[in-house]
Structure 1
Amino acid sequence: MFGVVGMGKGLLVIFAAILLLFAGCTQQSPAQPAAQPTVSPSVPPSNAQPAATPPANAPTAAVPPAAGTPSIAQPAPSTAVMVSQNAQLGSILTDGKGMTLYVFTRDSVGKTNCYNTCADLWPPLISPDGGVGGSLSGKLGTIVRADGSRQITYNGMPLYYWKGDAIPGDINGQGYGGVWFVAQPDATGFPSDMGESQAREIAAGTKECTDAGMLTSDSMYNNNSKTWWIGINSTKPGCSPACVVSANKSAQVNWRCTGLVAPQVLIVKTYPTSAFGEILTDSNGMALYVRTTDATNKFSCTGSCAMSWPALVVSSGYTTDVSGLSGTIGTLARPDGTMQATYNGMLLYTYAYDKAPGQVNGNGLGDVWYVAKTSMTTYPQQYSGGY
């Protein structure tokens, strides 16, 4: 009995001690800084509003406004053709960087005839993915070249660059060989070749230029409904009438505010020198040269070579003025479609670094270039001083 009572008292003592301990813990709680709980910076309190979150209808830097505007701009065409203004020609076609574009009269609508060396000098305007853009009055398109690339066309005419143009605005290829012309937005077809006798008479003012009104209606102007290349009787502000009077009192047809140049005459002259005797020159008195490698490899001067050594070229239907020459003047068709003048069968060139008549700065260069002499009947021997 005592054991049970004693055990009961012991249990009561232990239970009382536990109650006292619990009471002591609850009495110390007000002394703790309960009003300032420690909160991790990355985890907001459960009852706090996320102040950094904007209202659902407010735009942020990362989320564009939902106003119906596409969030991604439409990609531009890979190749653009645009209209630029040129001081000499007025409105011309250029690429997106302002480089001048050309057409080749030996092409036909929808077909290119410029390959190999021609394409090296006159690179086609290629669209890498077939895309082309531009707001023009005419129609842009593409054709497939022999290598599978797509060349851009304007009103069906294939477009090209000229390697001789260095910066936007250059038009160094205009009229080259009588077959290359700057592309212009109002062109609906390739330039037409005016007959030599007709054009010469008009340009000299001896025919159809007595009345400006006659020119626009005469069949020689419209070539039986085929309009001549842009420029005749231009209405550009500041232009004179179609028929103007030049300084020497002769009438002349207006071509984009300047006189129309008569068809080309191949003029080869002679020029006496103390070092070489009589040499050949062009119509401006600039020395003509031959290249010895042409003897075995015709037209061996292409690409960058042709920039320093321009071929003496003429347009189709040319006439010659070569009085006093003992040799024979002729022409050969170049790979780019132009006609290069020859003397006794030797191709003739000028040198870009001759700046005045009588200069022969190119003679002997590379032991392949020699000034053309009237006495030459064949190419000089290479590696022997040329003569």
Structure 2
Amino acid sequence: MINWEEIMKRIYLFLVLIGILIIFVLGGCVSQQQTGNQTPVKQTPGQPSIEQPNVKLSTENYIVDDKEKTLYLFTKDAKGDSKCTDACLNIWPIFYREKISVSSGLNSSDFGTITRTDGNKQTTFKGWPLYYFSSDVKPGDIKGEGVNSIWFIARHDYAVFIADKDNLKFIVDAKGNTLYSFNKDQPDVSNCKGGCLKAWPVFYAGNIVAPSIMNNSDFGVITNSEGSRQTTYKKMPLYYYVNDTARGDTNGHGVNDAWFIVEPAAKGLSTPTQNASSAIKVTSFPQSAHSDTVVTIKWEVTGGTEGEISNTAIIWGYNSAGANISEYPKATMIQTGKTPKEFSAGINIPSSGTLYFRIHAVVDGSDIYSPENQVSIIQQTSSY
């Protein structure tokens, strides 16, 4: 006998299974259609993350690390090696990064690495070792700026810096190369010409930024006789020396008793000024004279409130001193009096050359000078 009830159950289960299968198939198609309209995100295997700079510029334009801690330079490191050792490092810890990455405004090529005498490595900027200051606590602190006039914040735009070596403190360029002055120069006038410039090339920087103990306004620019632009400091034209082969060298100091390093505290060159109420007039001197004779020079001193002449004399030499009054090596006997008064003095002429002279007077306690004059010397010829 046929069991219709059992057959109906099987048919029912079969239809249920068919329905589930249809729902599954249709659902998969819809899902595939939806995902097919989406753009998959592409990822490049091994793509590196963007490297953050570990050296950058602060908002005030000085160099800091990636945590905004200020970095410093030490004037005694002029030669490029660190002179801060032992206990000094407790106050001025070294800065070192194995790999330097810089922010905008800095050049990675300006940074380098030295190995210190203690074996540790230290990062440098333009050859100057970099340090922290232990008293800088907060990001942006600059408590080490100007300490003892030998520690300064590291700026990327220094045009000049200060070196401190062998008890000499002098001006160098941003990379530690020594700068010089020439005592034959006049205020804002270079007298180094032709072959002189081959041995003493000019220093020029368009925009001067100097350490804080110096005034940027003390620097200027002139055009020399060759048409080259040249930086001056307190009206002194600045030069390099060709025989300085390494940073911090001072081989030009004292050459020919005419070339010298430039100290930050140098007085510089200035044109002699006349006391407004007094004056010197050279009234008589020969334009030329024979050698081995005595030349007589006459002058008059006038003016002054009290008119007290406490000192007047001829200052002279065989080389032009220009505006550098102190460069005249000789002087005649001091004379005194009250204005107006005429004076005269004699000078023994040497066998050859040119005699350069000024008249100096002190009127009512103020120094006044005449312009520089000169006497050409004619060599005596034998009558035999």
More strand by share: 2
Look at both structures and tell me which one has the larger radius of gyration over its CA atoms. 1
**Shared fold (TM-score, shorter chain, > 0.5):** no
TM band (smaller chain): 0.3 to 0.5
